Amino acid sequence: MAEINLVQAINLALAHAMTDDPSVLVLGEDVGLDGGVFRATDGLFARFGAQRVFDTPLSEALIAGMSIGLAAQGFRPVAEIQFTGFVYPTIDQMANHASRLRTRTRGRLTCPMVLRSPCGGGIHAPEHHSESPEAMFAHIPGLRVVIPSSPARAYGLLLAAIRDPDPVVFLEPSRLYRATHETVADDGEALPLDRSFVLREGGDVTLIAWGAMVQEALAAAEELEASGIDAEVIDVATLKPLDTATILASVCRTGRCVIAHEAPLTGGFGGEIAARIVERGLVSLLAPVERVAGYDTVMPLPRLEQYYLPNATRIVAAARRARAYA
């Protein structure tokens, strides 16, 4: 079995799901012959044909809205939004329709669709290609929000998202698309959509992250280990619904935590996690919850992006502050 990267894992999961289930369709801009601008849908057009893989006209509102119609009709559309800055028009469709079709019709019509989009910075992309909109989607009741951070988790989570009976927003950190390789068995095994992953065990401080920040948290943990601090790392790959239990169990043991995300601090999903920790775990806390996040600024263009993106150094500093707290 060859080692594959994250975008190849996405491709593998799509192909697996399409083979398993003829109702799975792929649609979006340039997903056909071109195979998607990141090549996530590479080869699917040749393999599954024009009846299942569609290049749509250029409209994100259309892509999301049509997916809702398809889903209500029993298909399982997997829609691709080409770059993160272009998901915003889909919020109308996702908030007003995808997320509430089941509720509005009391279960008569449902919306088993997946909205895939790259997210995050770090690849020196043009303007509007590096944002992290996960909290906007996580704020919408009725949606699931997933962000994988490794090839294997991308594979298992995407399969789960496609099989899930409700709409899933599936955000793929573009920085990780080709960053790491691992062996992924194409066994069709899905991962749970409501479970955080403990990637590293440690008793001194809990590092909580998702997306590209997971790599930074793991690097931070290595660095902390060198100075005798034992960090636990949790990948909150399923932001919504949130697996509070795993987070609380860890923080109750360590008493200290750092939450890292790329999205701007204010209104970021880290605030929600911090609130839950405080609500249910206050007595176990030995230090204030630390958040390491993007600044409350517009995502800068590439020349400054490295100074915007949180990194292992900032996570380490925050962990040390938490450690040093009396």
Partner 1 sequence: MRDVEDDVVAQFDVRLRRCLDAAGVPISALPGFAEDVRELVALYRGMVRTRQFDAKAIALQRTGRLGTYASSLGQEAVAVGAASAMQPDDVLLPSFREHGAQLWRGVSMLELLLYWGGDERGSRFHETRQDFPVCVPVGSHAPHAAGVALALKLRGEGRAALCIYGDGATSKGDVDEALNVAGVWLLPAVFLISNNQWAISVPRARQSAAETLAQKGIAAGLPCIQVDGNDVIAMRDTVGRALQRARAGAGASVVEALTYRLGDHTTADDASRYRKDAEVSPHWAEEPIARLRAYLAKVGAWHREDEERLLIEIGAEVETAASVYLATPPQPVESMFDFTYAALPAALIEQRSAAVSEAGTPEARHG
Residues binding ligand TPP (CB under 6 A)? 29, 58, 60, 82-83, 86
**Cα–Cα distance for residue pair 221/219, rounded to 1 Å:** 5
SS3 assignment, position 254:
helix
CB of 88 to ligand TPP, least distance (A): 9
**Closer to partner 1 by Cβ: residue 55 or 182:** 55
CB of 121 to ligand TPP, least distance (A): 16
CB of 89 to ligand TPP, least distance (A): 7
- Close Cβ partners of 137 (under 8 Å, ≥ 6 residues apart): 91, 94, 143, 145, 169, 171, 240
Q: b/e per residue, 147-168, with b = 16+ CB within 10 A? A: bbbbbbbbbbbbbbbbbbebbb
- Close Cβ partners of 176 (under 8 Å, ≥ 6 residues apart): 6, 149, 150, 211, 212, 215
Looking only at the bridges linking them, the beta strands covering 76-80 and 205-209 are: unpaired
**Closer to ligand TPP by Cβ: residue 80 or 216:** 80
Q: Is 317 exposed, middle or buried (0-12, 13-18, 19+ CB in 10 A)?
A: middle
CB of 105 to partner 1, least distance (A): 25
**Cα–Cα distance for residue pair 276/196, rounded to 1 Å:** 15
Catalytic residue selected from 97, 129, 181, 261: 129
Find which of partner 1, ligand TPP, none residue 185 binds, CB within 5 to 8 Å per kind.
none
Among 126, 203, 267, 288, interactor with partner 1 by CB under 8 A: 126
- Answer yes or no whether residue 86 interacts with partner 1 by CB under 8 A: yes
CB of 257 to ligand TPP, least distance (A): 37
CB of 124 to ligand TPP, least distance (A): 16
Give how many residues touch partner 1 by CB under 8 A.
37
Tell me the window of 7-15, 51-59, 229-237, 248-256 that interacts with partner 1 (CB under 8 A). 51-59
How many CB atoms are closer than 10 A to CB 195? 15
Among 3, 21, 34, 222, interactor with partner 1 by CB under 8 A: 34
Among 19, 59, 103, 183, interactor with partner 1 by CB under 8 A: 59
Find which of partner 1, ligand TPP, none residue 265 binds, CB within 5 to 8 Å per kind.
partner 1
| Residue number closest to ligand TPP, CB atom | 86
Among 105, 124, 141, 183, interactor with partner 1 by CB under 8 A: 124
**Cα–Cα distance for residue pair 153/150, rounded to 1 Å:** 5
SS3 assignment, position 135:
helix
Find which of ligand TPP, partner 1, none residue 142 binds, CB within 5 to 8 Å per kind.
none
**Closer to ligand TPP by Cβ: residue 87 or 259:** 87
The yes-or-no answer on residue 139 being catalytic is: no
Residue from 119, 116, 237, 115 nearest 174 by CA: 119
| DSSP annotation string for 170-193 | EEEEGGGTTT--EE---S-PPPPT
Identify residues 289-318 at the interface with partner 1 (CB under 8 A). Answer: 295-298, 300-305, 307-308, 313-314
**Cα–Cα distance for residue pair 197/34, rounded to 1 Å:** 34
- Output phi, psi for 322, to 5 deg: -60, -40
**Contact footprint for partner 1 (CB under 8 A):** 29-30, 32-35, 37, 55, 57-59, 61-62, 85-86, 89, 124-129, 265, 295-298, 300-305, 307-308, 313-314
Residues marked active site are found at 129
